[in-house]
């Protein structure tokens, strides 16, 4: 990266962090604006200061991201982060969501559904990917198992090393739920149902064995940003992309957890409300779990 682009990237990340929000929101925003700065380099646009960013630079960035088949919903989130950064920098015109050229509609990003395009990963696909990842990175394999059987988000998965021994104690006591604390959305801890107890115990023990010899980390990188990138890239190399992205592990947990709660006597609506809490969405979003996480894929319908 050129000196100019390094200077821009550093400035944009600082602005992103000053824009407020939860730790996860700030972290995501910083990652997005860093990617925006990197794209300026790839497009051979030499900019040192946010005040030199022009409308067409943002248009080119979004056009390039669309060409990479990034979903409209993801790009809506990216534009929200970029607008927040512009707002903090005092670039109020560029920060305006109704800007004639930079609105979601003008950029071709409107009409995206919140329902998403992911599906629950099948057991066959999961085990094939896990075997591939074990050959490359035992830490990523251990992390992937935790994500699959506890329904963790990527950030939660990477940071779960901090909670592994607490989880083992809870499991040994026979607790039916374990507490997810680090990197949760909005910084809100939650209690997640242990559906497949024996598998979770094995996954937790395997993860503890790994972190005990790797600086207390599942992904042995110096910071959260690089650890997340390493984890995502490792899963991507194993073919977990598109409908079967890492988030599809969370979808698989959702379906199993719904069946588990129903086996305990709950109605489907009650079970989906419980799963909503297991996933960290709150009890009022059972309908979202039903519509998004538990929807039937084209192959199953």
- Burial (CB < 10 A; 0-12, 13-18, 19+), residue 150, is buried
Grade residue 301 by pLDDT with cuts at 50, 70 and 90. very low
pLDDT higher for 86 or 245?
86
pLDDT for 239 beyond 70: yes
pLDDT per residue as tens digits for the range 19-33: 877 677 788 899 999
Is the Cα dihedral 150, 156, 160, 163 positive or negative?
negative
Q: Where are the domains of the chain?
A: 3-95, 123-293
Mean pLDDT of 171-191: 91
- Do 48 and 10 contact (CB within 8 A), yes or no? no
pLDDT for 181 beyond 80: yes
Grade residue 299 by pLDDT with cuts at 50, 70 and 90. very low
The reported pLDDT for the residue numbered 224 is 86
Residues contacting 184, CB < 8 A, separation 6+: 24, 153, 156, 190, 280
The reported pLDDT for the residue numbered 139 is 96
The reported pLDDT for the residue numbered 208 is 97
Lowest mean pLDDT among 39-48, 104-113, 272-281: 104-113
**Token code pair at residue 30:** 């910083």
The reported pLDDT for the residue numbered 5 is 64
Rounded to an integer, what distance in angstroms lies between the CA atom of residue 10 and that of residue 210?
34
- Mean per-residue pLDDT of the chain: 87
pLDDT for 214 beyond 70: yes
The reported pLDDT for the residue numbered 296 is 41
pLDDT for 42 beyond 80: yes
- Do 90 and 44 contact (CB within 8 A), yes or no? no
SS3 33: helix
The reported pLDDT for the residue numbered 298 is 37
Mean pLDDT of 55-75: 90
What is the dotted CATH code of the domain comprising 123-293? 1.10.443
The reported pLDDT for the residue numbered 154 is 92
pLDDT higher for 297 or 146?
146
- Do 121 and 251 contact (CB within 8 A), yes or no? yes
Mean pLDDT of 263-274: 90
Residues belonging to the chain:
301
Q: Has this prediction a pTM greater than 0.85?
A: no
């Amino acid at each position: 990266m050129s000196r100019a682009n390094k200077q821009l990237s550093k400035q944009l990340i600082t602005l992103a962090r000053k824009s407020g929000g939860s730790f996860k929101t700030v972290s995501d925003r910083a990652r997005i604006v860093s990617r925006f700065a990197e794209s300026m380099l790839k497009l051979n646009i030499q900019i040192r200061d946010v005040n030199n960013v022009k409308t067409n630079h943002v248009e080119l960035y979004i056009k390039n991201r669309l060409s990479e088949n990034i979903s409209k919903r993801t790009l809506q989130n990216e534009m929200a982060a970029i607008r927040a950064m512009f707002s903090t920098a005092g670039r109020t015109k560029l920060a305006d969501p109704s800007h004639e050229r930079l609105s979601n509609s003008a950029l071709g990003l409107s009409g995206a559904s919140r329902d998403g395009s992911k599906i629950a990963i099948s057991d066959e696909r999961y085990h094939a990917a896990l075997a591939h990842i074990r050959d490359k990175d035992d830490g990523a394999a251990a992390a992937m198992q935790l994500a699959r059987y506890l329904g963790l988000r990527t950030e939660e998965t990477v940071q779960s090393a901090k909670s592994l021994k607490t989880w083992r104690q809870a499991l040994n006591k026979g607790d039916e739920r374990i507490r997810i604390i680090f990197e949760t959305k909005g910084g809100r801890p939650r209690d997640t149902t242990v559906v497949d107890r024996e598998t979770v115990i094995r996954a937790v023990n395997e993860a503890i064995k790994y972190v005990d010899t790797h600086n207390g980390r599942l992904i042995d990188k110096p910071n959260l940003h690089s650890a997340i990138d390493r984890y995502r890239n490792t899963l991507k190399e194993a073919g977990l992309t598109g409908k079967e992205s890492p988030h599809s592990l969370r979808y698989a947990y959702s379906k199993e957890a719904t069946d588990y709660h129903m086996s305990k006597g709950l109605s489907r609506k009650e079970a989906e409300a419980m799963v909503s809490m297991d996933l960290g969405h709150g009890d009022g979003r059972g309908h979202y779990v039903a519509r998004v996480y538990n929807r039937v894929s084209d192959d199953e319908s």
